[in-house]
Amino acid sequence: MRVKHLLLALLASLPFTTPALSQIERVWLTHQSQDASRIVVSWQSAEPGNSIVEYGATPRLGEVATVAGRRTLHHVEIPLTKGDAACHYRVKTGSQVSDIASFKGYPDQTLRIAVVANIRADARLDFTALKKENVHLLLSSGDTAMQFQFGKVNAPASIASHARLIDTQAELFRSTPFMPTLGNLDRKIRPKSNGPEAPAYDVEATAYRRFFALPGKEWHWSFDIPDFDLRLLSVDMSHTGDFGTPDQACHPFDENSEQLRWHERTMSGTEAGFVITLFGETGSRVRRHANGRWSRSIAKGTLAISGECYHAERTEADGITYYNTSVRGNGSFGVDPNPAFLDKSASYLLLTLDKPSGTLTAALKTLDGRELDRRTFSKRSRN
**pLDDT per residue as tens digits for the range 144-201:** 887 666 555 557 778 888 998 999 999 999 999 999 999 999 999 888 777 888 888 9
pLDDT band at residue 15 under the 50/70/90 scheme: very low
What pLDDT was estimated at residue 167? 92
Q: Select the CATH number that applies to the domain covering 20-105 from these four: 3.30.70.270, 2.60.40.10, 2.30.40.10, 2.30.29.30.
A: 2.60.40.10
Say which range, 76-90, 130-144, 239-253, 264-278, has the weakest mean pLDDT: 76-90
What would the pLDDT profile of 41-78 be if each residue is shown by its tens digit?
A: 999 999 999 999 999 999 999 999 999 999 999 999 99
Neighbours of 9 (CB within 10 A): 9
pLDDT band at residue 14 under the 50/70/90 scheme: very low
- Taking residues 246-263, report their average pLDDT: 96
> Residue 11 contacts by C-beta under 8 Å, 6 or more apart in sequence?
none
Q: How far apart are CA 76 and CA 203, in angstroms?
A: 26
Q: How far apart are CA 253 and CA 316, in angstroms?
A: 23
Instruction: Name the strand (E) or helix (H) holding 53.
Output: strand 38-56
What pLDDT was estimated at residue 16? 36
pLDDT for 302 beyond 60? yes
What pLDDT was estimated at residue 255? 97
Please give the CATH topology (third level) of the domain spanning 107-378.
Purple Acid Phosphatase; chain A, domain 2 (3.60.21)
Neighbours of 162 (CB within 10 A): 24
What pLDDT was estimated at residue 82? 74
% of the chain exceeding 90 in pLDDT: 78
- Averaged confidence pLDDT in the chain: 90
| Domain locations in the chain as residue ranges | 20-105, 107-378
pTM above 0.85, yes or no: yes
The residue among 340, 301, 345, 344 whose CA lies nearest residue 323 is 340
In the DSSP assignment, the letter for residue 15 is -
Burial class (CB in 10 A: 0-12, 13-18, 19+), 322: buried
What pLDDT was estimated at residue 50? 96
The residue among 343, 344, 361 whose CA lies nearest residue 352 is 361
pLDDT for 383 beyond 70? no
Q: How far apart are CA 48 and CA 96, in angstroms?
A: 10
Q: For the stretch 199-219, what's the b/e string if a residue is b when 16 or more beta carbons lie within 10 angstroms of its beta carbon?
A: bbbbbebbbbbbbbbbbeebb
pLDDT for 382 beyond 70? no
What pLDDT was estimated at residue 151? 54
> Do residues 162 and 182 touch, judged by C-beta distance below 8 A?
no
The residue among 98, 101, 90, 99 whose CA lies nearest residue 65 is 90
What pLDDT was estimated at residue 190? 85
